[in-house]
Amino acid sequence: MDFALSDEQVALAETERAWLAKNDPLLVRRPTIDDGPARIPQGALRHIAESGIIGLLTSDLGGTHVDLLVLCEEHGRSGSSVPLAELTIACRLLEQIGHPTLEDAASGESLTVPAVGSLEAPALHAGIEGTSLRLHGTTAPVTGLVDAQRVLILASTTDGTEVAAVVSVDAVTIRTLETLDLTRSWAVADLDLTLDTGEWSAVPAGTLAFIRDELATYRSTDAVGAASRLLDLTVEYAGQRTQFDRPIGSFQAVKHHCADMALSVEASRAALWAAAVALDGTDLEVRTRAVSAAAAYAGEGTSTTAQTALQVHGGIGFTWEHDVHLLIRRIKVDELLDGSVRYHRRRLISA
């Protein structure tokens, strides 16, 4: 497949990178890193709302998944706490089901994040009883949930009907999780709800699978962004750190490490471009293969890149003050959520 970003997509990524550099999320996070989970800064929320990014996938703006991918990579690269993909996906879903909160969600007045059951240990259950929908169990981990006002729950019922319901966070129990990731908040929602007619909607078959593919793609994209930043930090450090009166970057072993990191990042990025193109397409089999291939490859590749970055940095990479550990932590959490490498390899074989 021949593919390249358009000039507009390149400019979109560059503009977002410039804003994130000016409003460095890791610098903002540092003073509160011991105070609890990372929260979404109001300035960042205002930025993505005023620039229209939250509504990017709605019919009014007509953005593509490739557009969203380049933005998510920049947020991963900067260590942003903004759940960009989740907010954007939720906004598109609100439009799909015709929910009245769409305008508030797109403008950032209230935050809605999507939640599904775990892929590998399902604990979210749904059933239709007459005209009511019964939801109980626990969602998969969701980033940004502690800052959201609403959660958009997607589930498949016992008879195979796929449903969506938008509920206030006050109606569920939010449990904040302690994870390796210090740059984002992660939480699950415990549900025990009975929703009447008008409080839930049936959605087309395949919607849940599509949402899972979106989340898997953008989780891996976030990791590639962080790995790209680690690559830049590692190359810069290798050119500055000296040993035996020579920059360590002049040693063949270090050169090979940096080259392996660059290859992994670029190949992972290319695989994710293919996944994003497939998400914009209509072929289910192509999408399944593209998403799982990208998630499996990028999941392993970014994790290896993170470990190599730590090795090249040596002792300074272990220090609390350096950004290396924050990016490694982020990549490690991305590797485990929305389908592990092992899960996507199994799915790819059976596709």
Neighbouring C-alpha atoms within 13 Å toward the C-beta of 42: 1
Q: Which domain holds residue 312?
A: 207-350
Last residue of a domain, one of 107, 136, 161: 107
pLDDT of residue 1: 63
DSSP state of 228: H
Does residue 222 sit in the same domain as residue 330?
Answer: yes
Q: Note whether 232 and 333 are same-domain residues.
A: yes
Question: Residue 243 carries which side chain, given as an amino acid letter?
Answer: Q
The per-residue pLDDT for 79 is 98
pLDDT at position 318 is: 84
Q: How many CA atoms does the CB half-sphere of 175 hold within 13 Å?
A: 12
CA distance 236 to 179: 29
Nearest C-alpha neighbor of 220 from the set 279, 303, 140, 282: 303
pTM of the model: 0.96
Last residue of a domain, one of 153, 173, 203: 203
How many CB atoms sit inside 10 A of residue 27's CB?
A: 11
- Whether 128 maps to a domain, the answer reads yes
Q: Do 227 and 306 meet the contact criterion of CB atoms below 8 Å apart?
A: yes
Give the pLDDT of the chain (351 residues) as one tens digit per residue.
668 899 999 999 999 999 999 999 999 999 999 999 999 999 999 999 999 999 999 999 999 999 999 999 999 999 999 999 999 999 999 999 999 999 999 999 999 999 999 998 889 999 999 999 999 999 999 999 999 999 999 999 999 999 999 999 999 999 999 999 999 999 999 999 999 999 999 999 999 999 999 999 999 999 999 999 999 999 999 999 989 989 999 999 999 999 999 999 999 999 999 999 999 999 999 999 999 999 999 999 999 999 999 999 998 988 999 999 999 999 999 999 999 999 999 999 987
Q: Quote the crossing angle between the two packed helices 284-313 and 207-240, to the nearest 10°.
A: 20
pLDDT at 135: 97
Nearest to 61 by CA among 91, 20, 21: 91
Q: How far apart are CA 26 and CA 195, in angstroms?
A: 40
Evaluate whether 294 touches 277 at the Cβ level (below 8 Å). no
Dihedrals phi, psi of 156, to nearest 5 degrees: -110, 130
CATH number at residue 91: 1.10.540.10
**Residue 250 contacts by C-beta under 8 Å, 6 or more apart in sequence?**
none
Q: How many domains does the chain have?
A: 3
Q: What is d(CA 325, CA 229) in angstroms, rounded to the nearest whole number?
A: 12
Task: Quote the distance between the C-alpha of residue 231 and its chain's center.
Answer: 20
- Are 154 and 90 in a shared domain? no
Same domain, 245 and 164: no
Which of 107, 141, 172 finishes a domain? 107
215 and 305 both lie in a single domain? yes
Q: Would you state the pLDDT for residue 120?
A: 87
CATH of the domain at 315: 1.20.140.10
